Amino acid sequence: MHADAVSLTRLAEGARGWVTELCGPYDSPMTHLVAVGVLPGAEVELVQRYPAFVLRIGNTEFAIDDALAARVRVRQTGGPAD
């Protein structure tokens, strides 16, 4: 685990970061994240926090719920601070 990594849920809208870790069991929701490219080393942007977390990777946007967002740890690299 990276000391400066935080849960995706801690980022502000517009913030960007590198995925450092996916936490929890490798279950169906986690398989969804991996399928869309949410893997350690991927850069993500948090587009929206409510009513769902909307992430952007490259030109692709997708929504996940707060429980799944909490399982993604990132190291913030840019954008607004919380």
CA-CA distance, 49 to 54, in Å (whole number)?
7
Q: Cα-atom radius of gyration of the chain, to the nearest Å?
A: 11
Global pTM value:
0.85
> How high is the pLDDT of residue 66?
93
Q: Rounded to whole angstroms, how far apart are CA atoms 50 and 12?
A: 11
How many angstroms separate the CA atoms of 57 and 54, rounded? 10
- Provide, rounded to the nearest whole percent, the portion of the chain with pLDDT above 70: 94
Taking residues 38-58, report their average pLDDT: 95
Domains and CATH numbers, the chain: 6-72 (2.30.30.90)
Q: For 55-73, what is the mean pLDDT?
A: 94
Residue 42 has pLDDT above 90, yes or no: yes
Residue 82 is predicted with a pLDDT of: 47
pLDDT score, position 2: 62
DSSP 13-64: TT-EEEEEEE-S---HHHHHHHHTT--TT-EEEEEE-SSSEEEEETTEEEEE
pLDDT at 47 over 60: yes
